[in-house]
Amino acid sequence: MAMVSMRQLLDEAAAGGYGVGAFNVNNMEQIQAIMEAARETSSPVIIQASRGARSYTNDRFLYHLMQAAVELYPEIPVALHQDHGNSPETCFSAIDQGFTSVMMDGSLLADGKSVSDFAYNVQVTREVVERAHAVGVTVEGELGTLGGIEDGVGSGEVHLTDPDQAVEFVEQTGIDALAVAIGTSHGAYKFSRKPDGEVLAMNLIQEIHEKLPTTHLVMHGSSSVPKELIDIINQYGGEIRQTWGVPVEEIQLGIRHGVRKINVDTDSRLAITGAIRKAMSDDPGEFDPRSYLKPARAAMQQVIAQRMTQFGQAGHAGDYEPRSLTEMRDFYAGAAA
């Protein structure tokens, strides 16, 4: 099976009433962990890479690792997504490298830090949509901004998505999926207490979904930051202070109201780091990288499999025949006619 369009994965998720986790990667072990979790749970999956990950891994290494993944796991529908593209050029380079989906984050300027205005966001996002849809590639846009900074991306400011403006944005850009800002943040330190309606505006998702029932919504910054993962890190020499992530039950509420893509990165990082710290502590004389990378990979797989089950995507890998990007190109052309 070749890599497939993210639009198809999200359309099928909408039809089935479930969400699809989008998991960030930087290396081979992370891709292996995700694909093993997908096989374990029979789940379709979105693997995504930030600009920082693409620079760290190198596009050609990343692409060929993904080709190996689809060769070794032919039963798993998998999309390769550019996370937080900061400019049309970044998105175009991802398309040229074989990504099947891109995010144009026009909520920020090209520096990835300064908040943009609505007109700029529409302009750059529409430019990417026109280029991407012409070759069958999916486009995610963002309206509003998240808190926190991760991988050098973020303004550090929270600007919640306006539901009426969201309708205008989707109409003017033609995006496939809309990332909404509801109070979440990138990174581990999302909330200083367990979030409730005062800090996590799940009502916005419901309102936006009512206005845009056929647009796939995306929750960024949606790691749950489990205490048990933090405890392992701290037990073996780490210094992660107490923090709260997005409760799984809130994500499940979002899924019932149109959320189809859920971004998870921090949980994977915590699982990997805890396993590496433990392995090195348990056998301080060991210096074979496999001695700590194997348990790190297994720890990430366990977390990803759990999220796939919680998001409802488990069991849906074989529900449908994958559509090629050529077929998706024709789909977009027909929709525009």
Q: Which residues are catalytic?
A: 83
Non-local CB neighbours of 332 within 8 Å, separated by 6+ positions: 133, 134, 136
H/E segment holding residue 80: strand 78-85
Phi, then psi, of 150 in degrees rounded to 5: -140, 135
- Displacement of CA 303 from its chain's centroid (Å): 15
Nearest CA to 151 out of 58, 54, 270 is that of 54
Taking the CA of residue 244 as centre, how many other CA atoms within 13 Å lie in the half-sphere pointing to its CB?
Answer: 14
Amino acid (one-letter) located at 309 = T
DSSP for residue 98:
T
Full 3-state SS string of 47-65: EEECHHHHHHHCHHHHHHH
215 phi and psi angles, rounded to 5 deg:
-95, 130
Structure tokens at 79: 């999309």
Q: In Å, how far are 93, 146, 155 from 90, measured between CA atoms?
A: 5, 20, 19
CA distance linking residue 74 with residue 90, whole number of Å = 29
d(CA 91, CA 12): 24
Helices (H) and strands (E) in the chain, counts: 13, 8
- 8 A C-beta contact, residue 31 and residue 47: yes
CA angle at residue 204 from 199 to 210, to 5 degrees? 165
Identify whether the C-beta of residue 190 lies closer than 8 Å to the C-beta of residue 227.
Answer: no
